[in-house]
C-alpha cells in the first residue's frame, strides 16, 4: 500500500514516488523529430494508453503525433536524472540508424545502444501490469548496473520497406515447447522498430542464456551488438523488406502487415 501523498515506488530505484512527480514518457520525446506526417505508433500486445487510462484490446493501434505514452511508475529523480542523460546521448548516436544511413559502430557505441535498448525495453512493459513478462528484479539490477544484462542478447537489423508504421513495439514470451500454463517463461523477446532502425532483444527470466531459441533470424540480416566484442558496420549486408520483416516478427507467411 502506498504512503499518503505517494503513488507507489519507482520501478528502478525503488524509492517512493510523490504524487506531484511528473509522468515519464515510455519512448523519448526526441523521436518526434523523425515523425513522418500521419505517423502510426503501434504497441503490442494490444494496449491503448492515454495518460493514466489503460484499455485492453485483442489487437489495437494507438495513433499519436509523437510518442505520447506515459507511465506513473518512475520517480522524478530517475526521470530527470540518469534517464534524461541517457536520452541526450542516445539521440545523436541513433539518428543515422533511424534514417537508414551508414554508420560504424565501435564497441563503446554498441555497449551504449545496448544500455539504451534495455532501458527502453523495460519502459515499454510498464503501461500494462497484467502482462508483466520481465521480472521486477531486472529493473533494480539495471538501475545499479546501467548496462544490458549478461543474460541477454541484442541485435540490430535494417528495415527498408514501406508498410510498417514508423514506430512499432512488440514483446512476447519465450517458452520451451510444452511449457505448462502458469510456469515462469524461459525469457522474453522485445522488438522495437523506429524508421529503418530495428532492435531485437532477448533476455532470460531465470538468469541463464537462452541458447538456440534466439535470435528470431540469423545470418547477414543481423548485427550483434551485445555482447559487444568487435566494431560493426551498419546497416547489415541484407536489409529487411516487407516480406522478410514478417518472418522477423514471427508472423506466418502470407499474413498482411496490420
Domain residue spans of the chain: 6-248
Phi, psi of 140 (to 5 degrees): -65, -40
Q: Is the pLDDT of residue 68 over 80?
A: no
Q: How far apart are the C-alpha atoms of 191 and 162, rounded to whole Å?
A: 18
Position 45 scores a pLDDT of: 44
DSSP secondary structure letter of residue 31: G
End-to-end CA distance of the chain: 40
Q: What is the pLDDT of residues 120-179, one digit of tens each?
A: 999 988 876 656 678 889 999 999 999 999 989 899 999 998 877 777 777 776 665 555
Q: What is the pLDDT of residues 198-214, one digit of tens each?
A: 999 988 877 777 665 55
pTM over 0.75: yes
Spatial neighbors of 243 by CB under 8 A, at least 6 apart, are: none
Q: Is the pLDDT of residue 49 over 60?
A: no
Residues in the chain: 258
Amino acid at each position: 500500500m502506498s504512503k499518503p501523498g505517494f503513488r507507489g515506488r519507482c520501478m528502478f530505484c525503488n524509492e517512493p514516488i510523490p504524487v506531484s512527480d511528473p509522468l515519464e514518457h515510455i519512448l523519448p520525446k526526441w523521436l518526434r523529430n523523425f515523425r513522418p506526417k500521419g505517423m502510426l505508433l503501434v504497441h503490442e500486445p494490444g494496449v491503448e494508453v492515454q495518460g493514466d487510462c489503460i484499455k485492453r484490446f485483442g489487437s489495437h493501434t494507438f495513433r499519436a503525433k509523437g510518442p505520447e505514452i506515459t507511465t506513473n511508475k518512475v520517480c522524478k529523480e530517475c526521470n530527470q536524472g540518469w534517464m534524461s542523460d541517457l536520452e541526450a546521448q542516445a539521440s545523436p548516436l541513433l539518428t543515422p540508424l533511424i534514417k537508414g544511413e551508414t554508420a560504424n559502430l565501435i564497441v563503446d557505441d554498441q555497449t551504449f545502444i545496448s544500455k539504451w535498448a534495455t532501458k527502453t525495453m523495460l519502459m515499454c512493459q510498464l503501461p500494462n501490469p497484467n502482462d508483466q513478462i520481465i521480472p521486477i528484479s531486472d529493473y533494480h539490477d539495471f538501475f545499479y548496473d546501467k548496462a544490458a544484462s549478461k543474460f541477454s542478447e541484442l541485435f540490430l537489423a535494417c528495415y527498408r520497406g514501406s508498410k510498417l508504421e514508423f514506430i512499432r513495439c512488440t514483446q512476447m514470451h519465450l517458452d520451451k515447447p510444452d511449457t505448462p500454463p502458469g510456469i515462469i517463461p524461459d525469457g522474453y523477446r522485445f522488438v522495437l522498430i523506429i524508421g529503418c532502425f530495428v532492435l531485437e532483444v532477448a533476455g532470460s527470466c531465470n538468469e541463464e542464456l537462452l541458447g538456440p531459441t534466439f535470435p528470431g533470424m540469423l545470418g547477414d540480416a543481423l548485427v550483434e551488438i551485445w555482447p559487444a566484442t568487435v566494431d560493426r558496420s551498419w546497416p547489415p549486408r541484407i536489409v529487411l523488406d516487407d516480406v522478410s520483416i514478417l518472418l522477423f516478427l514471427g508472423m506466418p507467411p502470407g499474413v498482411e502487415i496490420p
